[in-house]
Structure 1
């Protein structure tokens, strides 16, 4: 184990790790006990606990492949298109044109019965909101009433922007969408949700930590320590 590996994991905010663990619970369909993780010191130990907790008949097949077929069929249904024309490399912008993109993504969510959080607001609008919130926080040092008004205003603007104007894709292809949805909805992505491929679970946990915490997978070795 290198010093870099140790530092990478030690520097993670415990709150961020807790958020990832909640997503893992949802994806794999179980809840950690209150003290179940208190003695966990390495990433490998965490993976072993998660692997042991996931329930289902073990089947040696590929969940990503099954997830892709589900997503492909759902897209073909709501867009009334030939499913065979949809591949992992298919561009999402081509499938979902901007004019009715939000409506179609909502239909995709309902068809899959999964959260499909793949839309974002334009970069300039996101930067404007961020700058406004930051400026309002700084204003607390000078005029708390004005700062509170500004903060409230930009929070409302942020809520409205993400709920009514988010049309930019966070992902580029159907393959990337599949990877995200399978990671976040492992059991739902399988053809039979009462089965699992136990050999995949540690890899999915590594994907969670890598994507959610912006870590290189190379630092997520079994020996990498949290403390």
Structure 2
């Protein structure tokens, strides 16, 4: 137990040292932009890879669809743009079309994301996405995370672990934000489960996920 606690503290200290270095150098970049009169002519995007587990669910690293590694930090500053939080669901596939639109370049039809520019300007498009899709399929692999896909909307999340296992998980993120209580198969969740399964099929087809054709067989 003492060795495990020592390793955990070592891991946390090293991780936070990296974060501190990143924060410090962001300040260096912002200072340069301001000194060279570029701050009001530059879109600033501060994001990262998926979040790391710090012991949540007993895990480290990432790759699972649970909130800690499903969510990604994202701060954006557009001169003259919206101030405050954007409530819509966004994805990292939205970055490329955002940059292209700002640069005045046509967005290719095969890009799956959506430009965030309307949201950054404070608009709320009526046809904005209402759910997010996730699929991890690198198994077997060194991380030993089972293959799974899932869908998340503004309140619920449905996950399916597949391949050599067949396990479903359903979470109410409003009542259970830490995702500790699997509701799948419990009485009263049938409508929610069926709706999310239909959404899964729609998104798998929309994103041309090969798993969709396999599941249809």
TM over 0.5: no
Q: Of Structure 1 and Structure 2, which has the larger fraction of its residues in strand? A: 2
Q: Where on the TM-score scale, by shorter chain, does this alignment land: which range?
A: under 0.3
Q: Of Structure 1 and Structure 2, which has the larger fraction of its residues in helix? A: 1
Q: What is the TM-score normalised by the length of structure 2? A: 0.24
